């Protein structure tokens, strides 16, 4: 797929962070711009930058991070997540093959408890990645997706209602009436189109 050309976001070369859930933002690394599919993950560096924006850093490793593997395996995971979210949205758990494929990402995401002192001298217990860096990073995305599939309210998993937008979001608004990926983006585009229609009458 093409690298990002343009998208009405704060930085047009970066995928918008409008999904209100890590799995939704993962799906939104592909978008429609001027009727064409745009892939914001054109390189391993793009994936790494996106991960950093979400607070996911590579685990400490002896060697360099394999950016080609991060791109290839990240895109495969994204396709898998899209399939699972769409199936779950339609009220189906689908066949076992995609579930098993997601589970493979989860099994590769190995971590262990880590006890350390915090900044105030107290103790803190965290989990520390023990797998190779690519598996650890993508495992975070797989875990967020699995949690959504198990516990998420799929009435609140929505796609933007603008006909030229394919972005997803988790509707966390109080009334659960959110229609657009962003009011500033597609909401305003819809209002402008409605205004033009009325003006033409």
Structural domains of the chain, count: 1
Separation between Cα atoms, residue 115 and residue 108, nearest integer Å: 22
Q: What does the DSSP 8-state code read for residue 126?
A: E
Q: Is residue 50 part of a domain?
A: yes
Higher pLDDT pick, 89 / 201: 89
In the prediction, which pLDDT does 35 show? Answer: 82
Nearest to 17 by CA among 143, 200, 156, 185: 185
Residue 105 has pLDDT above 90, yes or no: yes
The reply to whether 8 falls in a domain is: no
Residue 92 lies in a domain: yes
Mind listing the pLDDT tens digit for each residue in 108-166?
A: 999 899 999 999 999 999 888 888 899 999 999 999 999 999 999 999 999 999 988 99
Domain assignment of residue 189, yes or no:
yes
Of 119, 138, 116, which Cα lies nearest the Cα of 129?
138
180-200 b/e with 16+ CB inside 10 Å = b? bbbeebbbebbeeeeeeeeee
Q: What's the pLDDT score for residue 200?
A: 56
In a domain, 9, yes or no: no
Which residue would you say has higher pLDDT here, 47 or 64? 47
Mean pLDDT of the chain: 86
Pairing type for strands 157-159 and 123-129 reads: unpaired
pLDDT grade, residue 197 (50/70/90)?
low
Position 63 scores a pLDDT of 64
pLDDT at 17: 93
Q: What is the pLDDT of residue 52?
A: 95
Give Cβ neighbours of residue 187 (< 8 Å, ≥ 6 apart). Answer: 179, 180
Q: Which domain holds residue 63?
A: 22-200
When mean pLDDT is compared over 34-38, 164-168, 190-194, the highest value belongs to 164-168
Distance of CA 111 to the CA centre of its chain: 22
CATH value at residue 30: 1.10.3300.10
Q: Tell me whether residue 47 is in a domain.
A: yes
Q: 49 lies in a domain?
A: yes
pLDDT class of 2 with cuts at 50, 70, 90: very low
Evaluate if residue 21 carries a pLDDT over 90: yes
Is residue 194 situated within a structural domain? yes
Given pLDDT bands bounded at 50, 70 and 90, which one contains residue 193? Answer: low
**Its pTM surpasses 0.95:** no
- Mean pLDDT for 31-54 is 93
């Amino acid at each position: 797929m093409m690298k990002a050309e343009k998208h009405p976001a704060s930085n047009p070369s970066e995928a918008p962070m409008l999904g209100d859930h890590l799995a939704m933002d993962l799906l939104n690394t592909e978008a429609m711009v001027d009727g064409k599919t745009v892939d914001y993950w054109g390189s391993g560096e793009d994936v790494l930058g996106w991960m950093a924006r979400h607070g996911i850093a590579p685990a400490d490793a002896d060697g360099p991070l394999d950016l080609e593997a991060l791109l290839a395996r990240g895109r495969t995971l994204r396709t898998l997540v899209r399939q699972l979210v769409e199936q779950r949205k339609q009220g189906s758990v689908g066949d076992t093959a995609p579930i098993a494929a997601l589970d493979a990402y989860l099994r590769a995401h190995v971590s262990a408890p880590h006890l350390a002192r915090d900044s105030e001298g107290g103790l803190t217990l965290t989990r520390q990645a023990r797998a190779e860096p690519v598996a650890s990073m993508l495992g975070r995305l797989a875990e967020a997706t699995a949690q959504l599939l198990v516990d998420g309210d799929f009435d609140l998993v929505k796609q933007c209602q603008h006909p030229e937008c394919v972005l997803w979001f988790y509707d966390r608004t109080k009334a659960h009436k959110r229609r657009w990926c962003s009011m500033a983006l597609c909401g305003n585009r819809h209002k402008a189109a409605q205004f033009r229609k009325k003006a033409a009458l």
